[in-house]
Structures are given as structure tokens and as C-alpha cells.
Amino acid sequence: MSNILQTIKAANDGKLIAGLGKACGISQSQAEQALEKLVPAIAEKISTRAENDPEDYQDLIEVVDDEEQVNYLTKPDWSFSIAAIEDGQDILNHLYGSVSKAIASDLRLEHDNATTARLANFTATFCVAAMASRNQAFFLSDGSEDDEQPSGFWGMIIAALLKGLMQSLTRRRPRRRYRRRTYGRRKTRKRRSSRRRKSTTSRRRRRRKKTPSLNDLIGDLIRG
């Protein structure tokens, strides 16, 4: 078995932890120690919330269906962006009521409050990104298929061009003029791009043979 902590540690060939330390003004070993405490606490809070609230669980599934979430683990411009901090704040506000309450309860570290808050925000974002990464693996392993995959020679050409275009787009830093959907933020602006993303993920869920469980998304990190 594996879990999201291992996914985060292995992200970007292990460079994510070093980047986290640099972004928070601490050493790589201190960043790893922080992750080892913060990730299980945040994961358990997400699990408890989703288990007790079916709507919250569906909200989580919709968010991890967004493949761009994984960019927070694999692309440094995303990993330590303002967007990553803001997404983390949204997650912690949803789970604890505020970042300060999160630190006071489960996420206290041997660092000053500003550094701890920064670590907690990034870690919350990485937790959901790791769930999205595990969701992708689950999506492939359960035999689900995307809608209307192109076939034949020209279909392969079109698919390759679209893949190149999407890679070019995802290389950009996430923008905050229009905020993307994040776990815990159920009310989003009603704009065309949001509706299009929602319908895409809805089609994906209908095409699944089964929906991932919390254990599929989190792994063996939480032991009851």
C-alpha cells in the first residue's frame, strides 16, 4: 500500500520537499518533518469530514477529478505560487474554520506562526493534489474511459496536437483573476469555463466503473 505522504515526498523526483523548505525559509529536513506531521492531520480531517457529509465527499471527488491539481506537485511555478497558498487557505478554512484555528488545534509546529501558516497552506494544497494524483491512477486502473477518444491516423494526430496545446497551457502559472474550484469552496463564480469543467468531470464520473473511496485517495496513512 502507499499513501499521499509518500506521493508528496516523491513528487518532482523528491525536489518538492527542498522547494518547500526554501519557500518557507527552513531546511529540507525541517520541511520533511513538517510534512510528516501536517499531512496525516489534514488527511484525517478531510476523511472525517467526507465520511460524515456525502455532499462534502462529492465536492472532493469533483475537485480531484480536475487533472490540473496534480500540477501543484509536478510544476514548481505552481507548487509555490500565490494560488497554492490561497487554495491551502481555502482548504484549512473549510476544515478548521480558519488557518489560525488549524494551527492551534492539529497543526502546531516548532516554528513561528507565520512560517507554520505558510507550511500548513502549502501542505493542504499538496494533500489534495496528491489525492488527485492517486485519483488519476485509480481512474486508469478501474478500466474507465474518457468520452469520445479519437481513433485512426487523423485521430492520433489530433490527440497529439491537443496534448501539446494542453501542456503549453498548463506550463503557465495558475492565474487568480478567476479563481479555480478548490476543495471547500462550493460556491464558485458562474462563468462558462467553470460550467465546462463541471460538465467534463461529471461525464467522467458517469464513465467510471466505480468511484474511488477515501482509502483509494488517501491510502494507508490513517490507521484506525
Distance CA(183)–CA(219), nearest Å, equals: 18
Residue 155 lies in a domain: yes
The residue among 171 and 44 whose pLDDT is bigger is 44
Residue 12 lies in a domain: yes
Bridge partners (DSSP) of residue 3 are 219
Distance CA(129)–CA(131), nearest Å, equals: 5
The confidence band for 198, taking pLDDT boundaries of 50, 70 and 90, is very low
pLDDT in tens, 60-76: 999 999 989 999 999 99
Residue 198 lies in a domain: yes
Residue 56 lies in a domain: yes
Has this prediction a pTM greater than 0.95? no
- Decide: 122 and 157 in contact? Cβ < 8 Å: no
Please give the pLDDT value at position 137. 86
Q: Please say if the pLDDT value at position 178 is more than 50.
A: no
Mean pLDDT of the chain: 81
User: What is the domain extent for residue 16?
Assistant: 4-218
Residue 52 lies in a domain: yes
Residue 85 lies in a domain: yes
The count of structural domains within the chain is 1
pLDDT in tens, 100-128: 999 999 999 999 999 999 999 999 999 99
Residue 223 lies in a domain: no
Residue 224 lies in a domain: no
